[in-house]
Amino acid sequence: MLYFYISGEEERHLFLIGMIYETIVIIFALMFLILILLKYREKRHKFTFYLLLIFTFYTLAILFSLISKVSVVLRLDLKIDPYSPLGGIFFRILSFRVTEFFVCIAIFLSYLLKVNVFHEGFKKIQRNIVIAFGSFTAFFDLVIYLPENSFQAVLLDAIAFLLTFIFMSMIYFAFMYRSIEAFRGLEEPIYRKAFLSLTIMAISFMLVLLNFLLDRVMILILNIPGFTIFYYLGWISVIIGILCAYLGYIRPGAGQLK
């Protein structure tokens, strides 16, 4: 069943629950985003700026996911032609593709943060792989899409989730490894706490796409509208990642890492 294809009132009720849930999630995300912005205005630190940008794009991803739920609750999916120019945009939002695109931008910004935090410098081969794979994934998320209710359409959606998850793992697994390495090599509590928070952030963000991928696989296999436990765990992981980065890295002033 295609993500935007709603067959009955029970499925619309699931979208209403999802809308309420994501409204709560985005309220928390905006609260932390404002706190991070205030911290950045106070210290004007480059690493805090990167985190502000990263969390902004994750918040945009949540926002467009919320827009999709609101659209279904308002029954806009019944009024817009999927093959019209407006439908091409609208149903990509409903199918999570625009959300994934913003996640791709957040992932690339996380790569820039990793390079700067750990003073690695840009390794040419690694940089080219990240740019090439990230660009392909973002292109696939937005362009490679079928506006129809078919197995092929759902399969393309699942592949889009898989590509985004692979791209995320490429960046955040390395981020996690370097953070753990730094945590073990330091004695000062504030710095250890900072790198531990970045480790948890990296793990949490990897879990976001893994959970959404599992939710999509369940849709594909069981022919259900989604909203499995993995869907709810996915957005919780976003908040955990932002919360840990704020409490452990940004709020204590640990962003002054050298």
Cα 199 → chain centroid: 16
Look at residue 1 in the predicted model and tell me its pLDDT: 39
Task: Report the length, in residues, of the chain.
Answer: 258
Q: Alpha-carbon distance 47 to 98, whole Å?
A: 26
Look at residue 95 in the predicted model and tell me its pLDDT: 87
Look at residue 256 in the predicted model and tell me its pLDDT: 53
Query: Can you name the CATH fold of 9-256?
Result: Rhopdopsin 7-helix transmembrane proteins (1.20.1070)
Look at residue 10 in the predicted model and tell me its pLDDT: 73
Look at residue 135 in the predicted model and tell me its pLDDT: 97
Q: Alpha-carbon distance 58 to 225, whole Å?
A: 24
- Domains of the chain, residue spans: 9-256
Look at residue 7 in the predicted model and tell me its pLDDT: 59
Sign of torsion, CA 113 116 117 123?
Answer: positive
With a cut of 50, which residues of the chain have pLDDT below it?
1-3, 254-255, 258
C-alpha distances (whole Å) from 13 to each of 20, 25, 41, 252 are 11, 18, 42, 42
For 88-145, write each residue's pLDDT tens digit.
999 999 888 999 999 999 999 999 998 988 877 778 899 999 999 999 999 999 999 9
CB 203 within 8 A of CB 185: no
Look at residue 255 in the predicted model and tell me its pLDDT: 47
**How are the residues of the chain apportioned to helix, strand and coil, as percentages rounded to the nearest 5?**
80, 0, 20
The SS3 assignment for 103 reads helix
Look at residue 5 in the predicted model and tell me its pLDDT: 58
CB 248 within 8 A of CB 192: no
Look at residue 186 in the predicted model and tell me its pLDDT: 85
Q: Alpha-carbon distance 29 to 46, whole Å?
A: 21
